[in-house]
Amino acid sequence: MKKIYYPLLLSQLFCAYAFADDVSLGYCDGSMVGGSLSGANAVAIRLPASDFPMYQGSTITGVRIGLAADASKGVKIFIRSRVDGSDIYSFQTGSLYEGWSDIIFPKTLEYPASDVVVGYEVNTGVRPGVSAAGDYTSSGACMALEGMAWKDLTEGGTDPLCLQLLIDGGSYTKTDAALISATGRTVGLDTPFTLKGNIRNNTNRILSKVRLSVDMGEGTMEGDAQVADVLPGEVGEYSLEMKGMGRTGNYDAKLRIVSVDGKADEYAFNDEAKAEVRVIGEVVERKVLIEEFTSQGCVNCPTGKEILDKAVKGLDRVVMVAHHTGFSPDIFTVAGSTLLHCFYNSSTTFAPAVMFDRQPAPGNPGPVSQIDDYMRPRILARLDSPAEVALDLKRNYDASTRRLTVQVAVRQVEGMAVGANPSVSVYLLESGMVAFQSPNFNDYVHEHANRMFMTEVLGDPVELSSDDTTLATYSAKIDEAWNVDNMEVVAFVSNRDGDDPNNCGVYNAEKLPLVGSDKIDDSGVEGTVGEEAEIAAIYTLSGVRLDEPAEGVNIVRYTDGSVRKIVKTTK
């Protein structure tokens, strides 16, 4: 963010230079472009006068545009009072490059008292950028002209458009901050916690601190919330340390801005936000299940893996799984994997792709989303929430018979909600496998590849109770070709909903090296994979489970862990 310096007045000869930062007013945070839009003839954002009265009368100097690709012919920018109205101002840019570009207008404009719509026309080859910093507003952050009609894509979950209005910081003198949101928390009894949310900086200085009051029904407290150096006009995160609560239950936390960097806040209408704080007697740490969709034939998958590895670097409470499906099958594809395609919630699948705890992905029809540079905040936010289920995993491996026994112990955490159809899933993974990988790697090392579903692909039903622990025990014979020293056992509990893939969230996950000799309890629901070579499941080539072989090619999984293709013909 550049700063504009002004000449000293004679009376300021012995004072420091006065300066103000330019304001970048929009709905994104100004960081890297996280994705792109397609199919639009024009794009825009709307800044309602009711939300931004503090900017009226200031000077508009230009715009900042974030693109997902170069635009050699530039774009035509427009400013209007209505998205379908006439232009108040328009300007044709020169060539623009991928990423952010500042466009300074040849003449300045006064910020009007009306709504302000700023946007640009989309020519052939122009890829409007979208941010991964969403949930700041429910409307106006990403509008698109599709055909002859404007649509507000924000309402459907599309992330904010990478577009900001530039305002001369010297012409803008207001002190205001807007509480955009407060995030609900589940915390332990008598345990200090942190309230977080999003705040907009409506000043012409970098914002690093704001004083808040919090009323949770048992008196009001004040404290200085730390803000991550939010630039003028942009939105960022605040955090406020809170004392522990002395009784369990649900609290409505009402937050209000008291002051902004020690100065009085000039606009009260945007000073409040609410969040629910649930206090429970026991808090169980969560491990996040991260499922990657990949393929040896996928040219972009090695890059996707690098980005994913960067996102989880230094995090010890993550469980990584690589499914070789979604693009094309390969030598690591497990029969039945295509059943996981339901999480795309689309007729189209792709790789590289990822899902976190099978939670709905912002801006996507299902939990599966593209791999990008904005994944780490999503993972950290998930790690910050307590688990709904306590999960303990044991395994006992007999090297002489290559027989593995796995036991999963699960218990619902009291006060935490789970879905109507909880299920337990157990996978066997192998790492360190050197094999081909597109585009031209012959010695690529494949990691965390799912080798076997010890349960049904989408999990086995399991009873959950906060009073008792449920045990589920499974057995399998490990393939002679697999290196057990490089293998892991992964177990997790999730909701299973065949009608809604966005209602299949994971409650907790665990992993252990395959080789080990834990004591397995005698009791428990038993499921065996590997005693006699009997049929365990039958699938079509597309992964649909069958009750009996159908005419044509069938994928048959046997109880010894082996998989065969069987062709049934009609005589």
Pick the last residue of a domain from 119, 154, 171.
Answer: 171
What value does the mean pLDDT take over residues 533-541?
A: 69
Give the confidence band of 546 by pLDDT, cuts at 50, 70, 90. confident
Reply yes or no on whether the pLDDT at 224 is more than 70: yes
Closest among 131, 24, 129, 145 to 71, alpha carbons compared: 129
pLDDT of residue 348: 95
Provide the domain limits for residue 426.
Answer: 288-528
Q: Are residues 192 and 167 in the same domain?
A: no
Q: Are residues 272 and 336 in the same domain?
A: no
Average pLDDT, the chain: 89
Pick the last residue of a domain from 171, 190, 220.
Answer: 171
Taking only the tens place, the pLDDT of each residue in 363-405 is 789 999 999 877 898 899 999 999 999 999 999 999 999 999 9
Residue identified by tokens 């989303």 is 369
pLDDT of residue 2: 37
Q: Are residues 181 and 166 in the same domain?
A: no
E-only strand ranges, 86-234: 89-92, 99-110, 116-121, 129-130, 143-146, 149-152, 163-167, 176-182, 185-188, 193-202, 207-215, 220-230
Reply yes or no on whether the pLDDT at 528 is more than 60: no
Alpha-carbon distance values, 132 to 357, 429, 527 (Å): 19, 31, 42
Give the confidence band of 345 by pLDDT, cuts at 50, 70, 90. very high
How far apart are the two ends of the chain, measured CA to CA in Å? Answer: 76
Q: Are residues 336 and 251 in the same domain?
A: no
Buried b (16+ CB within 10 A) or exposed e, 484-499: beebbbbbbbbbbbee
Reply yes or no on whether the pLDDT at 344 is more than 50: yes
Domain count along the chain: 4
Q: Are residues 225 and 242 in the same domain?
A: yes
How many CA atoms does the CB half-sphere of 391 hold within 13 Å? 31
Reply yes or no on whether the pLDDT at 25 is more than 90: yes
Residue 455 CB neighbours (<10 A): 22
| CA 238/CA 181 separation, integer angstroms | 10
Taking only the tens place, the pLDDT of each residue in 159-203 is 899 999 999 999 999 999 999 999 999 999 999 999 999 999 999
| CA 561/CA 476 separation, integer angstroms | 7
Q: Are residues 55 and 113 in the same domain?
A: yes
Q: Are 449 and 487 contacting, i.e. CB atoms less than 8 angstroms apart?
A: no
- Give the alpha-carbon dihedral of 304, 309, 312, 318, to 10 degrees: 90
Q: Are residues 382 and 404 in the same domain?
A: yes
Strand pairing category for 552-558 and 525-529: unpaired
Give the confidence band of 14 by pLDDT, cuts at 50, 70, 90. very low
Q: Are residues 461 and 561 in the same domain?
A: no
Rounded to 5°, the CA angle 547-552-556 comes to 50
Q: Are residues 13 and 95 in the same domain?
A: yes
Alpha-carbon distance values, 455 to 124, 407, 543, 554 (Å): 49, 12, 15, 20
- Which CATH number does the domain housing residue 380 bear? 2.60.40.10
Q: Are residues 162 and 186 in the same domain?
A: no
Q: Are residues 14 and 52 in the same domain?
A: yes
Reply yes or no on whether the pLDDT at 488 is more than 90: yes
Pick the last residue of a domain from 233, 260, 280.
Answer: 280
- Which CATH number does the domain housing residue 67 bear? 2.60.120
Reply yes or no on whether the pLDDT at 7 is more than 60: no
Percent residues over pLDDT 90 in the chain: 78
Q: Are residues 320 and 459 in the same domain?
A: yes
| CA 377/CA 346 separation, integer angstroms | 25
Q: Output phi, psi for 45, to 5 deg.
A: -125, 155
Give the confidence band of 558 by pLDDT, cuts at 50, 70, 90. low
Reply yes or no on whether the pLDDT at 531 is more than 80: no
Reply yes or no on whether the pLDDT at 541 is more than 80: no
